[in-house]
Amino acid sequence: MLTDKAVVMKCKIIPSDLKAIINSISKIESDTLLLVVDNKVYSLLEQEMDIVQEIQNKGKKVILWKSSEGEKAKSFDEYQCCVEFFLEKGIHRNCHLVAIGGGATTDFGGFVASTLLRGIKWTCVPTTLLAMIDAGIGGKTGINSKSGKNLIGSFYLPENVYINTAFLQTLPQREISSGLGEMIKYSFLNRSIYEELIKGKDYKEQIINCAQFKQQIVEEDFLELKNRKFLNLGHTFGHGLERIYNIPHGIAVVWGMALIFKIIQEENYLSELRLLLDILKWQEVDPPWHNKRFPSKDLYDYISRDKKRTSRNSIDLILLDKIGTPKIEKFFLDDLEKKLDKHESKLRIFNLRSAGHIIF
Ligand SMILES: NC(=O)c1ccc[n+]([C@@H]2O[C@H](COP(=O)([O-])OP(=O)(O)OC[C@H]3O[C@@H](n4cnc5c(N)ncnc54)[C@H](O)[C@@H]3O)[C@@H](O)[C@H]2O)c1
C-alpha cells in the first residue's frame, strides 16, 4: 500500500521567469538532465534562447527528446522510442528528467520518468494554462490506450513545478479557453477562487491560487481515495466528449459540467456557469454537437468503460451541495442511460450563451 505524504511534501510550486527556471534546472542535483520538450514549444523557445546550450553552459550534460506535439506524445510508439533513445545514451539512476510543455507532455514525461530504470526524479515546467493549474501538479502521469485516455499510467510526483506565465503569450486562444475551463471547475470547488473570478480579476492572478489549491488537495489525498475525486467535476462526461469530438481537455470539462448541471443537478448552477464564462470572455458557447444529434449512445458507451467506475453497474459522479462544497453521489448506469436518452432532443439545441441570449 502506498502512503506518500512525505513524497507529496517534496513537490514545490515556484512561480518564475524563463531565465530563473533555467537557473533552477541547472541547479538540480544530477550531472545529467533528460529534457522532454513538446516539439512546438521547443521551436518557440528556440527563438528566445537555446535552452540546451544554456543548461550545458552551467555544467550539466543534457539529453534532449523533442516529443510529438501535444496529445500525440501520449502513445505507446512515442513512449517506446523515447525510453529506447534515453537508454541507448547510457543513462543512470540519478539522471533527472525535466518535462517542458502542456499537460500532454508533462503526463508523458512524468510517465517516462516513473518507468525509466524503475523511476528517476523529475521536474515539471508547464507551458499551457491547463498544465500550470492542473495537469502539471499532482503526479498523475500516463499515456493513452485504444480503449481510452490515460488508461496506462502511474502516480509519480515531480520534485518541482516551475510556473512561468510568460509562456502563455504564445498559447493559442482555444488552449487558453481550455485552461479557463479547469479554472472554472476550481471556482465551483473552492469558494474563494469563485469570489475572485466573480470580481472579474485577471485570470493570470488566479493561476498560483489554483495551483496551490490543487497542491493542497493532492497533499491530503495523493492516491485519489477521498477528496481528490472532487477534482473530477465535469470529467465523467468531459472525457467522453473529449474523445468523441477530439476537443481540448478543459473545453470538454466545461461541457461535462454543463451536462451535470443540466441533466442531474438544479439549473441554477448552469446560470453560475454562464456568468463565469461571460466574465472570462469564453468563446466556446456552442457545444461540440452544435446542430447535430446529441451523442447519448456514444457518451454512455464511453462512461460505462470509464476507469473511474468502481463497480460493474454504477459510477460515482461529482455534484455540488453548494458552490465550494462538492459531494460524491453513486449513480446506476441504467439510470444515467435513461437520463441521457430523456434529454437527447433538448440537448440538441443547448448552448452556453450568457443570460439574455439563452436559447434553452
Ligand atoms: N495529469 C493530470 O492530472 C491531468 C489533468 C488534466 C489534464 N491532463 C492531460 O493534459 C492534456 C492536455 O494538456 P494541455 O491542455 O496542456 O494541452 P497539450 O499539452 O495537448 O498542448 C496543447 C497544444 O498547445 C501547444 N503548446 C503548449 N504550450 C504552448 C505554448 N506556451 N505556446 C504555444 N503553444 C503551446 C502544444 O504544442 C499543443 O499543440 C490531456 O492529455 C489531459 O489528459 C492531465
Cα of 175 vs centre of ligand 1, distance in Å, is 8
Query: What would you measure as the largest C-alpha separation in the chain, in angstroms?
Result: 64
Is residue 127 in contact with ligand 1, taking CB distance under 6 Å? Answer: yes
Q: How many residues does the chain have?
A: 360
Closest C-alpha to 308, from 337, 340, 334, 330: 330
Cα of 114 vs centre of ligand 1, distance in Å, is 19
- Looking at the domain assignment, is residue 222 inside a domain? yes
| Residue 89 and residue 180 share a domain | no
Residue 48's contacts (CB-CB under 8 Å, 6 or more residues apart) are: 18
Is residue 248 in contact with ligand 1, taking CB distance under 6 Å? Answer: yes
Is residue 137 in contact with ligand 1, taking CB distance under 6 Å? Answer: no
Task: For residue 262, give the DSSP letter.
Answer: I
The C-alpha atoms of residue 229 and residue 227 are separated, in whole angstroms, by: 5
| Residue 178 and residue 162 share a domain | no
CATH number at residue 154: 3.40.50.1970
pLDDT (0 to 100) of residue 10: 59
The C-alpha atoms of residue 198 and residue 95 are separated, in whole angstroms, by: 45
45, 157, 175, 178, best to mutate for ligand 1 pocket (most atoms within 8 Å of CB): 175
Put simply, whether the predicted model's pTM sits higher than 0.85 gets the answer: yes
Q: What are the grid coordinates assigned to 135, written together?
A: 495537469
Q: What are the grid coordinates assigned to 345, written together?
A: 432532443
Tell me which residue has its CA closest to atom 27 in ligand 1: 102
CATH number at residue 213: 1.20.1090.10
Q: What are the grid coordinates assigned to 17, written together?
A: 521567469
- Looking at the domain assignment, is residue 360 inside a domain? no
pLDDT-flagged residues of the chain (< 50):
1-2, 6-7, 9, 356-360
| Residue 116 and residue 246 share a domain | no
Cα of 333 vs centre of ligand 1, distance in Å, is 31
Tell me which residue has its CA closest to atom 22 in ligand 1: 70
38, 176, 235, 308, best to mutate for ligand 1 pocket (most atoms within 8 Å of CB): 38
Report CA torsion sign: 159, 162, 168, 170.
negative
Is residue 274 in contact with ligand 1, taking CB distance under 6 Å? Answer: no
Q: What are the grid coordinates assigned to 263, written together?
A: 441533466
Q: What are the grid coordinates assigned to 253, written together?
A: 470539462
| Residue 286 and residue 245 share a domain | yes
pLDDT (0 to 100) of residue 357: 43
Cα of 312 vs centre of ligand 1, distance in Å, is 32
What range does the domain containing 35 cover?
5-169
Tell me which residue has its CA closest to atom 44 in ligand 1: 135
| Residue 212 and residue 131 share a domain | no
Is residue 130 in contact with ligand 1, taking CB distance under 6 Å? Answer: yes
| Residue 209 and residue 79 share a domain | no
3-state secondary structure 219-248: HHCCCCCCHHHHHHCCHHHHHHHHHHHCCC
Instruction: Please name the residue that has the C-alpha cell 471556482.
Output: 187
| Residue 164 and residue 177 share a domain | no
Instruction: Please name the residue that has the C-alpha cell 523511476.
Output: 119
Report the domain count for the chain.
2
| Residue 180 and residue 161 share a domain | no
How do beta strands 148-155 and 140-145 pair?
Answer: antiparallel
CA distances from 346 to 236, 300, 354 (A): 20, 17, 18
Which atom number of ligand 1 is nearest to the Cα of residue 140?
1
Report CA torsion sign: 162, 165, 166, 168.
positive
| Residue 177 and residue 128 share a domain | no
Tell me which residue has its CA closest to atom 40 in ligand 1: 104
Q: Write out the H or E segment, with its range, that includes residue 160.
A: strand 160-163
Is residue 235 in contact with ligand 1, taking CB distance under 6 Å? Answer: no
Last residue of a domain, one of 118, 141, 169: 169
pLDDT (0 to 100) of residue 358: 42
Last residue of a domain, one of 147, 169, 191: 169
Tell me which residue has its CA closest to atom 3 in ligand 1: 135
Provide the 3-class DSSP secondary structure of residue 29. coil
Task: For residue 294, give the DSSP letter.
Answer: -
| Residue 184 and residue 106 share a domain | no
| Residue 207 and residue 333 share a domain | yes
Last residue of a domain, one of 169, 192, 221: 169
Is residue 242 in contact with ligand 1, taking CB distance under 6 Å? Answer: no
pLDDT tens for 175-186 read 999 999 999 999
pLDDT (0 to 100) of residue 6: 42
Cα of 105 vs centre of ligand 1, distance in Å, is 7
Cα of 301 vs centre of ligand 1, distance in Å, is 25
| Residue 211 and residue 97 share a domain | no
Residue 152 pairs with which residues in a beta bridge? Answer: 143
